[in-house]
Structure 1
Amino acid sequence: MKNWLIVLCALLGLQSVSANAANAFDHSAWNALLQQNVHLLEGGKASQVDYQAFADNEAALNAYLKALEGVSQSEFDAWPKEDQLAFLINAYNAWTVSFILTKWPDLKSIKDLGSFFSSPWSKEFVPLLGETRSLDNIEHTLIRGSDRYNDPRIHFAVNCASIGCPALANIAFQGDNLDSLLETQTELFLADSSRNRLNGKKLELSSIFKWYREDFEKGWKGYNSLEAFIHNYASAMSLPESVKTDLSNEKVDIKFLSYDWDSEQETIRPIR
């Protein structure tokens, strides 16, 4: 009965994108799926995605994806930017889960869904806002490519289904929780010493900061350098005052860590 309630909730989203009075689109169906199938570890620094449970209840996921597909470009454009960004983040994450399920359980990494000539993120299979898009298009064109958002914290919200990426939150993004949830996800990622840490006097950071460094230097909240962004989250990383001073002066030695594309940790079904 519970599963059918989730399906019904998603189908209702097809009829009205204003089901939730506080938000432009009601993502409660996705929220319910996340709550059931994403298990937080280490206080939220990591998460374990129960893909088998998602597969067992794929009808509910497909109903939510159909609801996303039903939103037109004109409807989307009329929303506040917070609702737009929440919608795009959820779409990316939900379609990534759906993508994994196309070969589940016979894959070790999301990279197995690509080919020698193209990455899985460039495959066009997502019907969204009137076009068939790739995951890259959602992230790099709709989100990063729009001057409307300019929020580097999105890199800790979109989930690429790999060990190296930030944890998938078990709460759906909504317009009214966007800022607080982005902040939480950013702090949790930076607090994870397996991905970001101080090693002696050297700051070792995730390769995310190397690949998308320009996003952290575009002036969000006045931060025009990666060092300034990291300084803002020095407490989350438990950095000493001496390092904070060096960050302020942009005199910190930064090394970028290798990225783990393996999805094995994410796909283990938790014991219940």
Structure 2
Amino acid sequence: MRLSCHALWTVCCGLTVCVMSTRSEGTAPDFSAWSEVVSTHIKPGESAGVPLNVVNYTGIAADPNFQATLDLVAKASVGNLTRNETYATFINIYNLFAISMVIHHPCSKSIFGGSCSPIKSIKDIGSLLSPVWKKTAGSVGGKSYSLDDVEDFLRNPAPFKEDPRLHACIVCASISCPDVRTEAFQVDKLDQQMTDQMTKFLSNPKKGMSLNMSTKTVTLSPIFQWFAADFVSAAGSVKNFILPFIADADVASFVRGNDVTLAYFDYDWNLNGAAPCQC
């Protein structure tokens, strides 16, 4: 907490006086350049029959705002952030770094160097012994982070409590991931943005949630299976967690049913846009 006169000026005995108070002041980076990137180069489309926001990796790679955001984050001071600053900052960083990994490692080469082709999946960047999630993805305030480092921090953002809506906000560059949002996450809009992300993800019947009335089955993204503990901790069960994000009352009633079985989609790890490989 720091002393601040922010918005607390008053007039007393003919003098302008600063009434001192304490409030939390964060140092969240300004992601307006990143908003320009994603609003310009991410558009609604379809891949493998799945509706999604398609990422134009080639366009992003050539956009000076992309490198400017990487440079901004590398120099940013991210200590003493508020809860919303923490989430907005590191969700943006995760999505920035995932896209950066594809841009900076767009080609798959044979071990003998005889062939080269665009990667099909972000997982092609890594290997069994060195998965992409563990590789250095970028720098935050002079410290190297992998994608796993950023995700692990968001799942345990001490001293704050985890918000499992984050799983609909961070995007691992794949078709079955939630869609990349076409604006940066912002401190003053964070709650609305996170709710919107989860609502839209669950409304996508090809990768978020689909219903089979005859078999009484609700098929969900495997994200709800992989991170079930997060959703159970927050709401008691996966079903309880997703219910507030289902806009259709009839659908919510079906999902709420005691005789409904949960199933999970196969996960499509293919890229959510063409890799910018020039080889």
Query: Under TM normalisation by the shorter chain, which class is it?
Result: 0.7 to 0.9
SS in 2 for 1:47: strand
Note closer, same or farther for the CA distance 1:146–1:22 as it changes in structure 2 (3 Å cut).
closer
- 1:157 maps to a residue whose letter is C
Work out which of the residue numbers 53, 59, 67 in structure 2 matches 1:62. Answer: 67
Partner of 1:90: 92
- Equivalent residues of 1:89, 1:158 under 8 A apart: yes
The aligned residue for residue 77 of structure 1 is 79
1:255 is paired with a residue whose SS is: strand
- In structure 1, the partner of 2:219 is 204
Root-mean-square deviation over aligned CA pairs: 2.3
Aligned CA distance change for structure 1 residues 40 and 213 (closer, same or farther; 3 Å): same
Going from structure 1 to structure 2, the CA distance change for 1:53 and 1:231 (only over 3 Å counts) comes to same
How many residue pairs align between the two structures?
Answer: 234
Matches within 5 A, 1:1-272: 24-41=28-45, 46-57=52-63, 59-72=64-77, 76-104=78-106, 106-140=118-152, 142-147=153-158, 148-195=160-207, 196-200=209-213, 201-219=216-234, 223-235=235-247, 239=251, 241-246=253-258, 251-263=259-271, 265-267=272-274
Give the C-alpha shift of residue 41 in structure 1.
4.0
Q: CA separation in 1, counterparts of 2:55 and 2:184?
A: 14
Partner secondary structure for residue 251 of structure 2: coil
Unaligned runs of 5+ in 1: 1-20
2:5 — aligned with what? none
Q: Going by fraction, where is helix more abundant, 1 or 2?
A: 1
Provide the secondary structure at the position in 2 that maps to 1:218: helix
**Mapped contact 2:36–2:65 kept (Cα < 8 A):** no
1:230, distance to aligned residue in structure 2 (A): 2.1
In structure 2, stretches of 5+ residues that fail to align are 1-24, 108-117
Question: Whole-Å Cα distance in 1 between the matches of residues 227 and 172 of structure 2?
Answer: 15
- Residue 103 of structure 2 aligns with an amino acid whose one-letter code is L
**In the superposition, relative to structure 1, how do residues 262 and 65 fare at CA in structure 2: closer, same or farther (>3 Å)?**
same
Asked if structure 2 preserves the Cα contact closer than 8 Å seen for 1:23 and 1:176, the reply is no
CA shift digits 1:37-85 (9 cap, x unpaired): 011348xx6201111101222x32112111111123xxx2322110111
CA distance in structure 2 between the aligned counterparts of 1:23 and 1:32, rounded to whole angstroms: 21
Q: Indicate if the aligned counterparts of 1:41 and 1:48 stay in contact, CA closer than 8 A.
A: yes
Q: Could you tell me how far apart the structure 2 residues matched to 1:240 and 1:137 are?
A: 35
Aligned equivalents of 1:22 and 1:129: distance in 2? 14
Paired amino acid for 1:119 = P
Larger CA Rg, structure 1 vs 2: 2
1:163: how far off? 0.5
Give the TM-score normalised by structure 2.
0.77
Q: SS in structure 2 opposite 1:87?
A: helix
Q: Specify the SS of the correspondent of 1:126.
A: strand
Q: What secondary structure is seen at the aligned counterpart in 1 of 2:43? A: strand
Q: d(CA) in 1 for partners of 2:98 and 2:233?
A: 27
Q: CA deviation at 1:232?
A: 1.9
Q: TM-score of the superposition, structure 1-length normalised? A: 0.79
The separation in 2 between residues aligned to 1:233 and 1:179, in whole angstroms, is: 13
Q: Rate the CA distance shift 1:138–1:171 in 2: closer, same or farther, 3 A.
A: same
